[in-house]
Every structure is written in C-alpha cells, then in structure tokens.
Structure 1
C-alpha cells in the first residue's frame, strides 16, 4: 500500500468526513475550523480551498446529492446544508430542535436521507428543502451513519441501541439487533455483494448484514482499533478506518482482513471514500487528506 498525505488545514480544524463530488474533486468537512466550520475542496496537485459556514454549526458528514450539489449535516446547528460546486451555500433548518443531524446519503427516491442522533429520528429532505421526519421505535438509540442499500431502502446504524436499521421509502422501519453486546456501530456502506458493511467501534469488529437481516461479525486483529467509517471502492473492495489504531483496512466478503499502518503517528483517520483518480482517500484529523493506493492490485 502507498500513502500520500495532503495538508488541507491546521490540526485544530478537524477534517472529518469526505466524498468525491460530481466535479471530480474531494469535498470534506472541517468540523472545528476556527469554531465556525468550513466545507473544503481539494483537487490533487492544487491548493485546497474552503467555504466558511456560520459559527458553531459543526459540519459533519457530506455526500453528493442527486441535483449535482453536495449536501452535508450541521450537527450543532440542527440544519442540513447544500453547497454547489462553485461554492453557493444554502441551509435548511430541521423542524425538531436539538436533533443533532449526523449521517446523510442520497436515496433511491431522489431525496436525501439523514439521521437525527439526539432525537431518535430519520429525516428526509427533498432537493428543494422540504423535510419529513420519521420517529424510530426506540429511544436513546443515537442513529449515526446512513446509506442506500440495493433493496430500495436506507440502512443506518444505531450506535447506542446496538442495532442496524432499515427504513423503506414508505417510512416503514425494521431493526436488526447485533450479536455482540455494546458493539456501538458507526459507519455503514453498501457492498458490491448486495450486503451492507458496517464498523463496530466499541467491539473492534467489521460487520456484514444481508437485506434479509443475517449478520456476520469479523473481529479485527487489534480489537482496540476503534473502526469508524466504511466505504466500497470501484473494484468492490470494502475499506474501513481504524480511528484508534491509526490504520486503514480492507475486508473481503469471506472475511479476509488486511490492515495497513498510516505513516504519520496519531493521525486519527475518520471518513473514507473512493476518489475520482481510482485511489481511496481518508480524512485525517491532524489536518490532512491521505491518498491510498493498493500495490497488490494488478490489471
């Protein structure tokens, strides 16, 4: 594995999540930048740029929308944000105060779906800003990451209820408890195998759930690694970050694991995403984005 790091901010800015935009650039959240928060943009080989948000809003997760813009959650401001590729920003308040929006992803219905960590709700926002909220059948669940599955549903992690949830386009919700107690799932992504893959941050495991609810858990070599985010590259490989272990890893559908140390100590990798260049990128809380290429891949 080869790793290149690109400085995008100082260590206090907190690069957290990142995604590849429709313009081929990497877009990322700077959750703590000057206590105001920023949305950053990086084209490899060019200087990074950023766009200032309102003070204290806490931009968290960012994702491409169906309208050619990037959409993001403002965790501390209870808002959903939208930024065009030329930097025009719009913001939409979530009706429930103190809801703490966190994860966000485009759904199969042309809307964006998001989690409300502090309100036990899943939200839906149309590209023109209309919001609908769906209460979960549990309390204190801390819904976290969310992704579109291959079954026309949205799948999400319930960090404090120790479960994986699914919501259909009709609002129907199904919960699947995890076999490991207090596993605290966080990141989730749809795999090329038709299943959903997720990170169990407290258990040091990567999990896999089929659309029918069958769950398999794969312990990491370092159970204290605190796996955080999950993504799938163009070849179908599942990648994850080890926030506490300073590593990134890959896992195959049969559970074969490979982990790689990052070159800078205590870099705290968070979000991870495929780039337009064929590499995988991760956001490092020390103020950088890391570009990762696999040396074991042959044409």
Structure 2
C-alpha cells in the first residue's frame, strides 16, 4: 500500500499518553491513555470522548472481547479491566500481586489471554471474570505483547529474547531469536499463512517465524528506530510503529520495507490497529491518533500529511 495521506486527530492533552488502540464492536476506535488513567473513544469525524479510571492505574493494551465489551490491562494497578460500549467499567483483581499485566488478546477459546511482565506468567480470564495463570519456564523473561494464532497464543519474551507459544491446555514452548538482546515487543499473526511477525525494539529489526519454526529477521533502514507495535492490514501486510524514529512502516512478503514519517515531530507512536474505515490507525503518546490512509484513486486529490485537530 503506497501511503500519501497521514492525518492526526488530537484526542487528549500532551501528558495523557495515548498508548494502545483497537477497533471496537461499535465501529469506533478505542484507546488507552496510560499516563492519565483514561479509556478513550473516537468515531472518525466526531469529537473524542473518554472514561476516567483510577488516575494511576496505567491502562496499557486494549482489545475487543467476545462479549462485545472492550478489555484492557491496568499495568500499574495490576488488574484487568472491562468497559462496555456505553462506558460501564468493571475491574478484576489477579491472582498474583504486583504482576504488571501488559498485553491482552482474545484467544481461540473465547477467553482473554494476557501477559504478566513482572511475574513471568501468562494469564487467562473468562468473560465472567474467572482467572487462571500459567508460569513460564524462565525467570525474568518479561512477557510483553500477546496475540492469537489458529489454536494457540503467541507472545514476546522481551528479556528472554524469545517468542513463546501457549496452547489452550497451558503447554508452553519457547523459541529463541537469532539476534542477541533483540528485545522483542509487538507481535502479530498473518491471516494468510499463520506466520508470526514481531518487532525487535533493541535490534531495529522486524522478525518473522514461519509455521515450521524457522525465523527470519529483516533489518530496518534505521536500526535505531525502536520498532514497537505491529499489526496486519486488510491485505494481510504487516504494519509497525517506529517509536524512536517517529514513523510507521510496512513490510512485504519478500522482506521489502517501506517507512513513512509522521507529520508531528517526536509524536511517539505506540499501538497500531486496522481501523473501522480500513485505514491503519496508530496511537501517539503526545496526545493524538494518526490515520494512515492509502493513496487516492487516479483522478482524485487528497491532502498530504494533513494535521487535523478534532479536540483541544
């Protein structure tokens, strides 16, 4: 996808910290504001709204559950949260204290699976709030992002330099990375072939693990870019954020990488998702959401790098 248009929509003050983003069941974009303890909602073209949690709860990653609500991790409050599309919030305590939940995703079994960064565990919570935790085989692994595959969950082990897999029966397998101290963070599964794509934030690379376990790493043009989150677009192509370089990028099946500067300097892009309008959307920690649109059709026009302010 050739990108010609990146629009930014201001959704909070510069200190609120939009962090992760997902498309909700109501056709809106839902996002976390990690520094102010809020969950935000934006319908493109309308004013943003938000819902206040405990100010120091640290809402981090957010996803849509099978029950039609949004589920999110509270990194600093060590809880899992649930918010309905009309703003009703429920919070669930976890079994392990001070566990630092971070990534969360819906599993093939319909439950929510999450990582516990400080406890070396993978957690599972049903939509009625029943929690189970599974210990990892290595201490200090710092499990980070998590995503569903066909019959298992895949997750990054940031400090163990590995990709993990947990089956629905709790069986865990760990795959070490070729590059030392690569520090993987974001992770996505290809809808086409089931391969696992991930970011290596410390190595400046994008990794791919094929279904046979073979790992290939693709260096970014800027190795200091600090790639963070990754997702796939409507065509199955992986897109990622470059937190340290103020860019978003994509990678083709042959490994060809394209990167695109964001309009506002030092915007700190974090989470990225496929939006309800078919565009890619990324959360900018400095207070905005950025829409990454495809090139206009021949004979049409579009503004390039338009900065739109939809809220003060």
TM class by shorter chain equals: over 0.9
- Give the match for residue 70 of structure 2: 70
Q: Distance in 2 between matches of 1:251 and 1:123?
A: 31
- Give the match for residue 167 of structure 2: 168
- Give the match for residue 12 of structure 1: 15
**RMSD, aligned CA:** 1.0
Q: Distance in 1 between matches of 2:12 and 2:161?
A: 34
- Give the match for residue 140 of structure 1: 140
In the alignment, structure 1 residue 204 sits paired with structure 2 residue 204: yes
Deviation at 1:294, TM superposition (A): 2.1
Deviation at 1:211, TM superposition (A): 2.9
Question: Structure 1-normalised TM-score?
Answer: 0.97
Deviation at 1:281, TM superposition (A): 0.2
- Give the match for residue 89 of structure 1: 89
- Give the match for residue 183 of structure 1: 182
Pairing 1:30-49 to 2, within 5 Å after superposition: 30-33=33-36, 37-49=37-49
Q: Distance in 2 between matches of 1:93 and 1:19?
A: 23
Q: Distance in 2 between matches of 1:71 and 1:234?
A: 23
Pairing 1:1-299 to 2, within 5 Å after superposition: 1=3, 2-33=5-36, 37-150=37-150, 152-192=151-191, 193-295=193-295
Greater mean alpha carbon deviation, residues 184-193 or residues 154-163: 184-193
Q: Distance in 1 between matches of 2:119 and 2:38?
A: 25
Q: Distance in 2 between matches of 1:277 and 1:270?
A: 20
Conserved 8 A contact 2:63-2:104: yes
Deviation at 1:74, TM superposition (A): 0.2
Conserved 8 A contact 2:239-2:249: yes
Q: Distance in 1 between matches of 2:46 and 2:276?
A: 15
Deviation at 1:297, TM superposition (A): 8.1
Q: Distance in 2 between matches of 1:218 and 1:28?
A: 29
Q: Distance in 1 between matches of 2:204 and 2:296?
A: 25
Conserved 8 A contact 2:157-2:185: yes
Conserved 8 A contact 2:38-2:55: no
Q: Distance in 1 between matches of 2:186 and 2:26?
A: 25
Deviation at 1:112, TM superposition (A): 0.4
Deviation at 1:179, TM superposition (A): 0.1
Distance 1:296 1:48, change over 3 A: closer
Deviation at 1:140, TM superposition (A): 0.2
Q: Can you give the 5+ residue segments of structure 2 that lack an aligned partner in the other structure?
A: 299-312
Q: Can you give the 5+ residue segments of structure 1 that lack an aligned partner in the other structure?
A: none
| CA offset digits 1:265-284 (Å, max 9, x no partner) | 10110000000101100000
Question: Structure 2-normalised TM-score?
Answer: 0.93
Deviation at 1:113, TM superposition (A): 0.2
Q: Distance in 1 between matches of 2:182 and 2:20?
A: 22
